[in-house]
Amino acid sequence: MTLFKPHKMSLARREALAGYAFIIPWIIGFLIFTIGPMLASLYFSFTDYNIIDPPRWIGLQNYARVFSGIPEYFKTGDPRQLGDPLFWKSLQVTLYFASLALPLNLILSFFLAILLNQKVPGVNVWRTIFFLPSIIAGVAVTLLWIRILNPRMGILNPFLQNVLGIQNPPGWLQDPNWSVPALVLMSLWGVGGSMIIYLAGLQGIPTDLYDAAKVDGANAWQRFWNVTFPMMTPVLFYNLVLGMIGTFQYFTEVYVATSGTGGPQRSTLFYNLYLYQNAFRYFDMGYASTMAWILFVIVLLLTALIFRSSDAWVYYEGQLRGRG
Amino acid sequence: MKRVLNFLPWLFGTVKGHEFLFKGITTLILAAGAVVIMVPLAFMISTSLKDPAQIRSDANTLIPRKPQTTEINGERYNLYQVTVNGISREMAMLKKAPGGMANFVDPASPDEIYELKINEQTPLYRLDIHWENYPEALTAMPFFRYLGNTLIVTFVGMAGMLFSCSLVAYGFSRFRARWLNLLFLLLLSTIMLPSQVRLIPLYILFQNLGWVNTLLPLIVPQFFANAYDVFLLRQFFMTIPLELDDAAKIDGANPLQVLLYIILPQARPALVSVGIFHFLYAWNDFYEPLIFLHTRENWTLAVGLQTFDAIYTINTHLIMAVSVLMIVPPIVLFFFSQRIFTQGVVFSGIKG
C-alpha cells in the first residue's frame, strides 16, 4: 500500500497542475484586464489626471466634488449648492429610467412568456417574432426609433392622434419631460430578450407539480399563484439583478439618440453617459474613475440588497419551507 | 342559428369551450404584439426605399409611393378618385380654389371643369420604390471598410474567445485542485463587475501600447476568456460522460488530447451557441469601438453608422438603408440557428 501512495499523490498533483495550466489564459486576463485596471482606477480616483500630464495625487477632492454641498442643497433646495449638480442629475435620470423600465419590462416579458408557453397555434412563429428585436439591438434600431418617435416625420404620433384620438401627443425625444419615457418605450420593444429567459424558466417547471395541483382541485389562477409564480421567482430575481446593473451601464441607445449630449436640457444625461463625457470629452480621467468606483459601490449595494431581500420572496427548489 | 345558440353554452360552459376561448384571446394578444414588433421594421424598410421628397411629404406611410399624375396640355397634374353626381371617376386636379375646394377635370374631356371639396376626394398613388438608395448608401460612407473592420473584430475575436474559453472551461470542469472552485467563483463574480471600473486604466494601457485607434483593444482581450462563455461551456462540458475521458486516457491520451479529440467534438452545439452569441455581441457593440477607434478608416459599422447619422441626419433614406443592411446578418443567423438560441439562451441572454 505504501508503495502506491507517493505515486497517487503525484497523480493528484499532476491533475491539479494541469487544471491550473488550462485556466492560465483567464488568470492572465484577470490580472491584466480586470484586477490591475480596477486597482489603477481606484488610484486614479484620488488623482487629477488628464492623460497628458502624469496623475497628480489630490486625496479625496474628487469624492468631495461629488458629495459636498448636500446639506446646503437640502436647506435651500438650490442645486447650484451641490459640488457637482450634474452628477446628481445623472443619478436621478438613471434611477428615473430604472423605476419605469424595470417594472414594465418585468411585467411585460413575464406576461408574454406565459402567453408563449401556451399551446396556441403557430407558437414558434410568435416566439421568433417577439425575440427578434433583442438580437438586432443597438445603433441601427435606435436610429430607427428616433425616426419613429419624431413628432413630425414619425409614425407613432400620427397613430396616437388618428387612431387613439390623443389630441397633443408628446414630443418624445425632443421634449425634456418625455425623453426618458421615450427611451423606456424603445427598451420595451426589445422585451423579448428577458421574455425568452422567463420562457425557459417556465418550461423547466415539472409538470407533475401542475398535475398534483389539479388533483387537489386548484383552478388555473390558483395553479399560477401557487406553482408557476413561486417556481419562477429565482428567474424573476435573476432578471431584476441584471436589469438593474444593466440600467447603470445604459449607454448606446441614449448616446445615439442624443448624439452623446444627453439632451434635451440634459434630461437624458444617464450616469454612464456623464461618466463617458468626463473621461473622453473633458479628459478628466481622475473624476471619471471616481464616478466608476461610486457606480461600482452602488451596484454592489443594490445587488447585496436584492440578495438579502430575496430570502423573503425567492423560492428555491429543494428548500423545505414554502414561499415566504 | 341553432348552431350559434349551441356554440355559446359550449364556449362558456364547458372545459373545452373555455380552453378554446382562452387560446383565442391569447392568440389575439400575441398577434397584436407581433404587429407592434413588425411595424417599426416595416417602417425601416419602407423608409430605406423612399426618396427624400417622399420622406418629407409622405413620411408616415408604410408603402413607398408617389401621387399618380397625368399630362394635360403639356402640364402634369395629380390624379384623384372623385365622386361626381354619385359616379366615381378618375380626375386630375387642375388648381386649388379658396375654401378647401379645387378644380377637377377628366383628362379625356379637359373642358368640363368641376369644383369639388379636396378632402372628400381620394388622391391616387402609384408604387415608387427607390432601390438605388442602397448602392448610393454604400458609397455615401465607406461601408465596405466599416464592414471589413466589423468582420475582423467579430471573427478574430470569436476565434480568440472560443480558443481561450474552451481551455479555461476544460480546466474548470475536469480537474480537481484546491483553488479551482474558489477561482471559479471569482470568475463568476466578474459577471457583476461594471466594465466602467476598469475602462479608464485599460484605455491608458492600450494608449501606452500604441493600440488606441487600432482594432487590437477589441480583439486581444477576447484571447483571455470571459466569464459568460466559460460558464456556459463548463456547464456543457460537465454533461459529457467522464467514461469517454477515461477511455482516451487508457489509450495514452494526455489532457490536451482529451480536450481536442473527446470534449470539443462532443461540445459542438455549445461552441456554436457561444459563437453565435459572440457574433451578436461583437456585431452590435458600440461602446468599446466608440471609445477605442478614433478615425474613420478604423470604425466598425456601428460607429460609422452613428457618426454618419450625426453629420448627415437629413439623409434618412440612406441611414435606414444601411440600418437594414446592418440588421440582416443577425436576423439571417437567427433564423438558421433558432433551436440553439432557445436552448443556450438561459445562460447567455445576459451578454452584452
Q: In this predicted model, what pLDDT tens digit does every residue of A64-79 receive, in sequence order?
A: 999 988 888 888 888 8
Structure confidence at residue A122 (pLDDT):
86
CB proximity B12 to A under 8 Å: no
**CA-CA-CA-CA dihedral for B152, B155, B159, B165, to nearest 10:** 110
pLDDT at B151: 97
Mean pLDDT of B12-16: 78
pLDDT tens readout for residues A239-255: 777 788 888 889 999 99
Output the pLDDT for position B273.
Answer: 87
- pLDDT at res. A148: 94
Where do the domains of chain B lie?
2-48, 65-127, 134-348
Query: In this structure, are residues A285 and A51 in contact, taking their beta carbons and an 8 Å threshold?
Result: yes
Closest chain B residue by Cα to residue A285: B200
Mean pLDDT across chain B, nearest whole number?
Answer: 88
Please give the helix or strand (H or E) that residue B115 lies within, else none: strand B109-117
B67 reaches A (C-beta below 8 A): no
Domains of chain A and CATH, by start: 4-67 (no CATH), 83-313 (1.10.3720.10)
Q: Is the pLDDT of residue A317 over 80?
A: no
Report pLDDT for B1. Answer: 61
Out of A36-40, B2-6, B7-11, B101-105, which region has the weakest mean confidence (pLDDT)?
A: B2-6
**Confidence tier at A112 by pLDDT (50, 70, 90):** very high
Residues of B in contact with A257 (CB under 8 A): none
Closest Cα in chain B, distance from residue A75 (Å): 33
pLDDT-derived band at B155, boundaries 50, 70, 90:
very high
Residue type, B182: L
% of chain A exceeding 90 in pLDDT: 52
With CB atoms and an 8 Å threshold, state whether B286 touches A252. yes
Residues in chain B: 352
| pLDDT at residue B80 tops 50 | yes
For B301, which residue in chain A has the nearest alpha carbon?
A: A139
Model pLDDT, residue B352: 31
Residues of A in contact with B59 (CB under 8 A): 152-155
- What average pLDDT does this structure show over A142-169? 90
Q: Chain A residue closest to B61 (CA)?
A: A155
**All residues at 6 or more sequence positions from A129 whose CB lies less than 8 Å from its CB, including other chains:** B34, B37, B38
Closest to A189 (Cα-Cα) out of B321, B319, B33, B327: B33
Q: How far is A319 from chain B (nearest CA, A)?
A: 22
pLDDT, tens digit (0-9, with 9 covering 90-100), for B340-350: 665 544 444 33
Mean pLDDT of A116-139: 89
Cα separation, B125 vs B252, in Å, equals 77
What pLDDT is recorded for position A206?
A: 84
Question: Which set of grid coordinates corresponds to residue B19?
Answer: 380552453
The chain B residue lying nearest A259, using CA atoms, is B310
- Considering only the beta carbons, identify the residue of B43, B170, B287 that sits closest to A252: B287
Q: Across the interface, which of A25, A28, A138 has its CB nearest the CB of B284?
A: A138
**What value of ipTM does the predicted structure carry?**
0.87
Q: Domain B134-348 is classified in which CATH homologous superfamily?
A: MetI-like (1.10.3720.10)
Question: What does the alpha-carbon distance between residue A219 and residue B131 come to, in Å, rounded to a whole number?
Answer: 56
Look over chain A and give the mean of its residue pLDDT values, rounded to a whole number. 87
What pLDDT sits at residue A240?
78
| pLDDT at residue B98, as a whole number | 81
Whole-angstrom distance, CA of residue B70 vs CA of residue B105: 11
Chain B environment of A164 (Cβ under 8 Å): none
Q: Is B28 on the interface with A (CB under 8 A)?
A: no
CA of B349, closest CA in chain A: separation in Å?
6
Closest Cβ opposite residue A29 in set B26, B176, B224: B224
Do the Cβ atoms of A118 and B180 come within 8 Å?
A: no
Q: Is the pLDDT of residue B351 over 50?
A: no
- The answer to whether A180 and A270 are in contact (CB under 8 A) is no
Q: Do A242 and B350 touch (CB under 8 A)?
A: yes
Chosen for mutation from A15, A34, A289 (greatest number of chain B CBs closer than 10 Å) is A34
pLDDT computed for residue B187 by the predictor: 94
Determine whether the interchain pair A136/B205 forms a contact, defined as Cβ–Cβ distance below 8 Å.
no
> Which of A10, A14, A26 has the highest number of chain B CBs within 10 A, making it the mutation to test binding with B?
A26
Give φ, ψ of A138 to 5 degrees.
135, -150
> Above 90 in pLDDT, residue A5?
no
Say what the pLDDT of residue A201 is.
83
Average pLDDT for A182-208 = 88
> Residue B2 — very low, low, confident or very high, per pLDDT cuts 50/70/90?
low
The percentage of residues in chain B with a pLDDT greater than 90, rounded to a whole number, is: 53
Q: With 50 as the cut, is the pLDDT of residue A157 above it?
A: yes
DSSP string, B287-340: HHHHHH--SGGG--HHHHHHHHHHH-TT-HHHHHHHHHHHHHHHHHHHHHTHHH
Identity of the residue in B55, B196, B280 whose CB atom sits nearest the CB atom of A275: B196
> How would you class B23 by CB atoms within 10 Å of its CB: exposed for 0-12, middle for 13-18, buried for 19 or more?
middle
Which ranges in A137-218 belong to alpha helices (H)?
139-149, 156-162, 179-189, 192-203, 207-215
For B265-291, the pLDDT digits (tens) are 989 888 988 999 899 999 999 999 999
Angstrom distance (rounded) from CA B132 to CA A172 = 32
C-alpha cell at B293: 477607434
List of chain B residues whose C-beta atoms are within 8 Å of the C-beta of residue A224:
none
Q: How far is B219 from chain A (nearest CA, A)?
A: 13
pLDDT of residue B347: 43
Q: How confident is the model at residue B305 (pLDDT cuts 50, 70, 90)?
A: very high
Query: Chain B residue with minimal CA distance to A52?
Result: B204
Identify the weakest region by mean pLDDT among A282-291, B6-15, B25-34, B337-346. Answer: B337-346
Q: What is the pLDDT of residue B345?
A: 46
Query: Looking at per-residue confidence, does A108 or B120 come out higher?
Result: A108
B211-234 average pLDDT score? 95
